[in-house]
Amino acid sequence: MSILVDRNTRVLVQGITGREGSFQTRRCIEYGTKVVAGVTPGRGGEELDGVPIFDTVREAVANTGANCSLIFVPAPFAADAILEAAYAEIPLIVCITEGIPALDMVRVRRYLRDSGIRLIGPNCPGVITPGQARVGIMPGDVFTPGMVGVISRSGTLVYEAVAQLTALGIGQSTCVGVGGDPVIGTTPLDAMRLFAQDPDTKAVVFIGEIGGTFEQEVAEFIGKGLHKPVIAFVAGATAPPGRRMGHAGAIIVGEAGTAQAKKRALAQAGAVVVDSPAQIGLTTRRVLQERGII
């Protein structure tokens, strides 16, 4: 099994005719993802490698039955693109765009609240269920099907962690890049809840980073009785307070936002915390062996 996306997911790409949108659409199709439509206002009636392009999301959904939107729209217009997908009642929206103004995302979050629509991102690498669907920009060749779920606030670190797992013969059920902005849709806690409910996900690798309290929220959930092992790494241990490091959300404001506080909370909750990203793969294998999972 998997969470969020699988071989039945029908993807439409908003911004399909842009440079990044067209490039990543082709990579998704090559991976085997069912890309059924594209949306670029004013380009309706055209095609990209056989994928029909529509002027609006609602028109694309009506004609193709798309149930997932992948967004590559530039930052000034990306919040409106998310809302357009939401107005068309697409249940899963994945927004790759970075640099969306925080106030725009506050407006989006307010609209999506209690709507039943799930947003991944923005400023994220997307979602991949190995061997089934790639909805985002993740390099598909480092993934392999298996039973370890992966949640990450970091894009590049998740590729490194998954490459380690794959090299050790440990496959992944689904990998979710939640994004590094301060205002995002699906949080690490939301993703952890989904993996907790998936019977075929036997363990979870969680890659956090400085800033915010997402890691403490995950720790609280683990501490309440999550019966699956969690292997955690928190990036940014040497980051100076008050300075943004990479992601807009990766800024330490108060002691709770430090890597040390996050690692402490996760360890106290029962997660196995690693101090170096180079240890993620080997530590995961050890934990799986100790639990009798492999």
Which pLDDT does position 237 carry in this prediction? 63
The CATH code that applies to domain 139-290 is 3.40.50.261
What would the pLDDT profile of 124-149 be if each residue is shown by its tens digit? 999 999 999 999 999 999 999 999 99
pLDDT at res. 250 = 47
Contacts 24+ apart (CB under 8 A), 44-50: 46/17, 48/16, 48/17, 48/22, 49/25
- pLDDT number for residue 258: 85
pLDDT at 254: 54
* Residue 249 confidence (pLDDT): 47
Domain boundaries along the sequence of the chain: 10-120, 139-290
Superfamily of domain 10-120, CATH level 4: NAD(P)-binding Rossmann-like Domain (3.40.50.720)
Q: How do residues 146-171 score in pLDDT, each as one tens digit?
A: 999 999 998 889 999 999 999 999 99
| pTM given for the model | 0.93
The whole-number pLDDT of residue 241 equals 55
- Digit-coded pLDDT (tens) for 167-180: 999 999 999 999 98
Task: Check residue 251 and give its pLDDT.
Answer: 47
Active-site annotation holds for 227: no
pLDDT score for 238:
52
Q: Output the pLDDT for position 56.
A: 98
Catalytic residue among 202, 247, 262, 263: 247
Residues in the chain predicted with pLDDT less than 50, given as ranges, are: 245, 248-253
Report the pLDDT value the prediction gives residue 231, as an integer from 0 to 100. 98
**The two domains 10-120 and 139-290 share their CATH topology (first three levels equal):** yes
